[in-house]
Amino acid sequence: MEYTTAQDLFNDFCLWSYQPQATFENKFRSINLLFNSFEFMALDKGYNDLVGAIRSGMGEFQTVWGAKKLGNDLYWELYFYDYRRRERTRSIAKLLKTISPYLKCNIPFNEDLHYFMFSIDLNASSLSGARKLDEIHMYIGNPGSSVSSGICYSLKEDGTRLENFYFFFDAKKEMEDIIAKTICSAHVDFTKIGIDYIILPELKKCKVIVIANKQANDSIYFSGINIDQLIFFLKKMGYPKTIVSFAEKNRGMLDHMLYDVGFDYRMKDDKLIVLKSGYYGFF
């Protein structure tokens, strides 16, 4: 377990800082939730070592992690931000050099592009030596709108492909816009699906709601929820008992932080289906 100190920083999944919600010294860091998911998947020590190398190479409290549930399996996404864009120091090049003892990558990339963020995926076989890192997700801005938004591209050895559009809304001030954006969907018929199935009432009390349009589905993210809302989300999305019970049993050690969660969805046979979900922290 890792414990907080007076010098700890607190960041959401956009690496935007926030104030702790309760006294925080000698409580859990959110990385303990990540390690708990590693333990559930019975990952070897190499994954913890990889996290340590990234923290040393990219900076402490500068990496966002997401634990994703896809079917009955978990995988992870690590996100790296530098809003200085071309003046960045946390770059794709730096990360690939940092993780080269663990993961090889032959994806071409251009550091002159105006990206502010990128991410990589890990799964239970990533460090087996049988595969290399075959995809990087690169995020750029989307100027020209009053709504904060971003665009994600997939970088692979064979080229670049558009993935997703993200739109950020103030959950308290812009609920009407959030509803309007959600309803403007190519994947859900809202004459058959109630809006509360997506904009979950239990999570509406948060800081930011993000609506994403992806190629085969839409997504919603709730940023700045408390520990009780996180536990609700883990239960609703059917996370393993080991993960849910860790959060429940350690609620008092986790109540100083805010959390971010989200899920991918679409309609099938007149019903809403959740394709994937995730919860986020930082290290």
Measured distance CA(91)–CA(110) in Å, rounded: 10
Domain count of the fold of the chain: 1
Task: Look at residue 118 in the predicted model and tell me its pLDDT.
Answer: 98
Q: Do 135 and 155 contact (CB within 8 A), yes or no?
A: yes
Task: Look at residue 233 in the predicted model and tell me its pLDDT.
Answer: 98
- Decide if 26 is inside a domain: no
pLDDT in tens, the chain (283 residues): 999 999 999 999 999 999 999 999 999 999 999 999 999 999 999 999 999 999 999 999 999 999 999 998 999 999 999 999 999 999 999 999 999 999 999 999 999 999 999 999 999 999 988 789 999 999 999 998 788 999 999 999 999 999 999 999 999 999 999 999 999 999 999 999 999 999 999 999 999 999 999 999 999 999 999 999 999 999 999 999 999 999 999 999 999 999 999 999 999 999 999 999 999 999 9
Question: Which range of residues forms the domain containing residue 201?
Answer: 31-282
Residue 273 structure tokens = 């289906």
- Decide if 16 is inside a domain: no
Task: Look at residue 27 in the predicted model and tell me its pLDDT.
Answer: 98
- Decide if 13 is inside a domain: no
Query: pTM here?
Result: 0.96
- 7 phi/psi in degrees, rounded to 5: -95, 0
Task: Look at residue 90 in the predicted model and tell me its pLDDT.
Answer: 96
- Decide if 231 is inside a domain: yes
Unique residue bearing structure tokens 């075959």: 134
- Decide if 77 is inside a domain: yes
Task: Look at residue 146 in the predicted model and tell me its pLDDT.
Answer: 82
Task: Look at residue 194 in the predicted model and tell me its pLDDT.
Answer: 97
- Decide if 11 is inside a domain: no
Q: Do 106 and 151 contact (CB within 8 A), yes or no?
A: no
- Decide if 25 is inside a domain: no
- Decide if 2 is inside a domain: no
